[in-house]
Structure 1
Amino acid sequence: MSGVGATAVLPGYDGTSPFPGADDHPPIGAAQLWVTAAIAVVPFAALLAGAWLAWGNGVSPADLILAAIFYAVTGLGVTVGFHRLLTHGSFAARPWLRVALAIAGSMSFEGNVIDWVAAHRRHHAFTDRPGDPHSPYRYGTGPRGQLRGLAHAHLGWLFRGEEIPAERYAPDLLADPATVRVARAFPLLSVASLALPFLAGWIISGELYGGFTAFIWAGLVRVALLQHVTWSVNSLCHVIGTRPFTTRRHDRSTNLWPLALLSFGESWHNGHHSEPTCARHGLDRRQIDLSAGLIRGFELLGWATDVRWPDEDRVRRRRRTEMPDPRHERHGSV
């Protein structure tokens, strides 16, 4: 993983106990609290409005098509742009494509591109160990601790005031003027992410009501679905699923096939943590990875170069022959 050096396991951490200071919650500023709450809660609340609108009337085909288009554009902006390109350097992209992917990902309402990359690089540097910003094992591996940990990994970590310095985890992005401009434009891009579905619905239907329903389904509901799929990779994909490949010590990342389509291949999370810089996360046959397919298309068009595709020998060496205790696992690297 680019931008992060090797990190040592905190002395004394046994892989099952709560993280030291797990219940310490740095204060979060009032403005950040309200903004985070609005980003996380308002799209989910729109599901209720959508259900009420659909009661007895259904959802128009135009709204569903617009929702699918915006879900794909913004979702692939996150998976291909934020994650595989900017966080891990799985391929090199033409400058205009790099910016376009960063803009598309910024319209997902998951934070500005630099903060997103910094948080994810820290996650890889400390996966499921003290220092991981969203490990579901923060409160230990007992039943109560696991439930608290899942809530923390899915959403709760966003409401903590812990700083993740971009100067340490994303200095390459801070040094890129184009990426800095996209990061600063995050509020405007968030507005555009909701305004464009409204305008498209209004134009297609010829009525303001058509714009309103598109705003609900292709705007807010689409954002809510994408957010929770992304957050499920943070939470569920470290607790539920299979672990066919070796990873770093204490890393419990899993492959969770039911999320493969909605996450555009991100839920092959164990494969990703085994080979973080690989452009394809689904390392086995018949593992659908739409993000890798898009990168392949970019490569064929000459828009992407230096793509890091899976190496069969490395994949074979990293495949498990048994299921080791994750407390003592020391395989793999970032």
Structure 2
Amino acid sequence: MPASGSTSTSANTGTNASAGNDTCSNPTTPAYDGSAPFPVDGGPAPARSGSERVYIGVTAAIVVGPLLALGLAGWLLWGRLIHPVDVLLALALYTVTGLGVTVGFHRGLTHGGYTAVRPVRIALAVAGSMSFQGDVIGWVATHRRHHAFTDRPGDPHSPYRYGTRLRGQLRGLVHAHVGWLFRNDQTPAERYAPDLLADRDLRAVSRAFPALCVLTLALPFGLGWAIGGTWVHGLTALLWAGLVRIALLHHVTWSVNSLCHLVGERPFRTRRHDRATNLWPLALLSFGESWHNLHHADPPCARHGVDRGQLDPSAAVIRLFERLGWVHDVRWPAADRIAARRAA
């Protein structure tokens, strides 16, 4: 992506990946029939390096830490250590960081659903980074790879990795939801996100990811202390608006990877083996991302919930930004394109 702020290159990259470039797959890999477990690379597993052990340790802390916080929150709740400011801060930060992921990381940077002015592009990248879901360049590269190989060998988090029998599906559900994070299956950004690597602003945001993780926890602690007047208020805000908020957003995002490829409706045609679904119970919590079937049928579309009654808060935010002049060249759904993708 050029440093001027255009996302046109991102749009091309995201669209090509989502269109299914089968030439990316290994020509020596046996044809995938849609039901068998994914092929496993031959040869003995390499010994874990020190850096890989560090990666797995950090991942475990990020995944398990917020979950432990949920248990702690339940214990504290019995003592009524929750304040209105904790809830308000949690809602505010969940919304800001969640929209940073959905509007910024996903619909903008990954798929080029719109072109944002430079300050907005940077602000959304910062907000998304504060979700604790990884640095912006790595996130985008992984998601583009997911679209290039959806539910086929090469997909980093398909629930069909272990086949379509019951045991394989249960194992695949765990893999798609959280297990893939521990595989350290690196996605090369040079291949999947060269436009972001070429953008000096996004490189800076990517490098700042550890600091932004600290910030997303320091903010609720500092605001809770400042508003409540005691360090106890700071700690409860850290718990609810920091750790619990992160845990909830994590699992909503991971549910789009897992549940939205296993259960739900499929009113639109997708590529062969692509089983993306619409799952309405997650619509509000995911800011419209769980209208996943349409997204996989038309990835650059800036709105995912295109049918009557399908709430899509992310699309509403993009519409607001468009009216304010902060984004342009928005790829809104076209009636003919939507009709052409409907399942018979």
Fold equivalence (TM over 0.5): yes
Equivalent residue number for residue 203 of structure 2: 180
- Between the aligned partners of 1:67 and 1:25, the Cα distance in structure 2 is 42
- Give 1:56 shift: 4.0
Letter in 1 for 2:12: S
- Which of the numbers 68, 72, 77 marks the counterpart of 1:54? 77
Q: Secondary structure at the match of 1:273?
A: helix
Structure 1 ranges of 4+ moved more than 3 A: 8-11, 22-28
Candidates 237, 252, 269, aligned match of 2:292: 269
How far apart, CA to CA, are the structure 1 residues paired with 2:144 and 2:257? 13
- Contact 2:81 2:236 (8 Å CA) reproduced: no
In structure 2, the residue matched to 1:18 is: 37
Q: What TM-score do you get using the length of structure 1 for normalisation?
A: 0.93
Aligned partner of 1:92 among 83, 90, 115: 115
Q: 2:265 aligns with which of 216, 239, 242?
A: 242
Equivalent residues in 2 for 1:76-91, closer than 5 Å: 76-91=99-114
One-letter amino acid of the counterpart of residue 219, structure 2: L
Give the Cα–Cα distance (whole angstroms) in 2 for the partners of residues 149 and 59 of structure 1: 37
Q: Which residue, 322, 325, 328 being the options, matches 1:302?
A: 325
Give the residue type in structure 1 aligned to 2:22: T
CA distance in 2, matches of 1:68, 1:40: 20
User: Deviation at 1:169?
Assistant: 0.2
> Which residue does 2:12 correspond to in 1?
2
Pairs aligned (count): 321
Is 1:137–2:160 an aligned residue pair? yes
Q: CA deviation at 1:53?
A: 1.2
Shift of residue 25, structure 1, vs aligned partner: 6.9
How far, CA to CA, are the matches of 1:90 and 1:253 in structure 2? 19
Shift of 1:59: 2.6
Q: Of residues 208, 219, 227 in structure 1, which corresponds to 2:242? A: 219
Aligned to 2:189: 166
Q: Extract unaligned runs of 5+ from structure 2.
A: 1-10
Amino acid at match of 1:313: D
| Cα distance between partner residues in 1 of 2:300 and 2:202 | 20
SS at match of 1:236: helix
Which SS does the other structure have where 1:2 is aligned? helix
Verify: 1:36 aligned to 2:45, yes or no.
no
Q: Which residue of 2 aligns with 1:208?
A: 231
Tell me which residue corresponds to 2:255. Answer: 232
- Identity among equivalent positions (%) equals 64
C-alpha contact (below 8 Å) 1:22/1:138 kept by paired residues: no
Bigger mean CA offset, 4-13 vs 32-41: 4-13
* Structure 1 residue 252 displacement after superposition: 0.1
Q: How far apart, in 2, do the equivalents of 1:156 and 1:22 lie?
A: 18
Instruction: Assess, with a 3 A threshold, how the Cα gap between structure 1 residues 37 and 2 changes in structure 2: closer, same or farther.
Output: farther
Which residue, 282, 296, 301 being the options, matches 1:278?
A: 301
Q: Give the C-alpha shift of residue 189 in structure 1.
A: 0.1
Shift of 1:2: 3.2
Compared with structure 1, are the counterparts of its residues 22 and 63 closer, same or farther at alpha carbon in structure 2 (3 Å cutoff)?
farther
1:161 Cα deviation from its structure 2 partner: 2.4
C-alpha separation in 2, matches of 1:52 and 1:107: 26
1:293 is aligned, of 316, 320, 323, to 316
TM-score when scaled to structure 2?
A: 0.91
1:329 is aligned to none
